[in-house]
């Protein structure tokens, strides 16, 4: 499925998902972490902190993002023994982060209003967003339900493919495509309304 054209503000190059130093080193760290070694767990998971924070900030805003990330690390440490390796470690950590961010959003009933200001425009965009359009998009994304916001964050801002997004969210590809389609529709309507008011 090709990416459907959305406002240029949503176009972004993926944040690099860096591989661990070596499979053997990662396996050794994983074995030690499963045995309860906190230093091994930190060394194993620390490379993913920035991506976890980025996802959390876009889901719940900066004010609560660090709390979500800390909770995600605690949950991951407690359940590292159940990590089977069916998905990559980064996918597993991001899934935990997303699930906690969704719970947080549902629990607090607040919407993230500062969630997109962590975006780094690493690649030139054909029509660079001005601050007004960036705020409009930020507000539109913040108004999405947490599940739809997760789809937008993972697909557009983290650069995951539809299959990777589905795996990360623990849903099938059809559900992922449906959420992304619904998010685009709602964003398009919200942005059309916002620009008509201007």
Both tokens assigned to 118:
């962590």
* Per-residue pLDDT tens over the stretch 169-190: 999 999 999 999 999 999 999 8
CB crowding 77-111: b at 16 or more within 10 Å, else e = eeebeebeeebbbbbbbbbbbbbbbbebbeeeeeb
pTM for the whole structure: 0.72
What's the confidence (pLDDT) of residue 119?
41
Distances (CA, A) of 124 to 121, 134, 136, 154, 169: 7, 15, 20, 20, 29
Written as one string, the DSSP assignment of 130-167 is: PHHHHHHHHHHHHTS-HHHHHHHIIIIIS---HHHHHH
* Per-residue pLDDT tens over the stretch 102-114: 999 888 754 444 4
Q: What is the pLDDT along the chain (198 residues), one digit of tens a residue?
A: 333 333 332 322 223 334 445 678 888 999 999 999 999 999 999 999 999 999 999 999 999 999 999 999 999 999 999 998 888 999 999 999 999 999 998 887 544 444 444 444 333 334 445 555 776 788 888 889 999 999 999 999 899 999 999 999 999 999 999 999 999 999 999 888 877 776
- Residue ranges of domains in the chain, CATH in brackets: 8-197 (1.10.1740.10)
């Amino acid at each position: 499925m090709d990416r459907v054209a959305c406002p240029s503000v949503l176009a972004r190059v993926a944040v690099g998902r860096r591989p661990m130093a070596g499979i053997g080193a990662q396996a050794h760290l994983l074995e030690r972490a499963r045995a309860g070694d906190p230093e091994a767990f930190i060394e194993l998971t620390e490379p993913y902190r920035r991506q976890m924070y980025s996802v959390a900030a876009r889901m719940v805003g900066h004010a609560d993002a660090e709390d979500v990330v800390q909770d995600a690390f605690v949950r991951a440490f407690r359940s590292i023994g159940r990590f089977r390796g069916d998905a990559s470690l980064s996918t597993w950590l991001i899934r935990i982060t997303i699930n906690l961010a969704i719970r947080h959003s549902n629990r607090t009933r607040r919407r993230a209003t500062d969630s997109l200001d962590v975006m780094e425009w690493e690649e030139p965009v054909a029509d660079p967003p001005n601050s007004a359009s960036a705020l409009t998009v930020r507000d539109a994304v913040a108004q999405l339900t947490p599940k739809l916001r997760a789809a937008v964050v993972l697909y557009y801002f983290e650069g995951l493919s539809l299959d990777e997004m589905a795996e990360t969210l623990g849903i099938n590809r059809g559900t992922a495509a449906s959420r992304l389609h619904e998010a685009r529709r709602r964003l398009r309507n919200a942005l059309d309304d916002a620009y008509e008011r201007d």
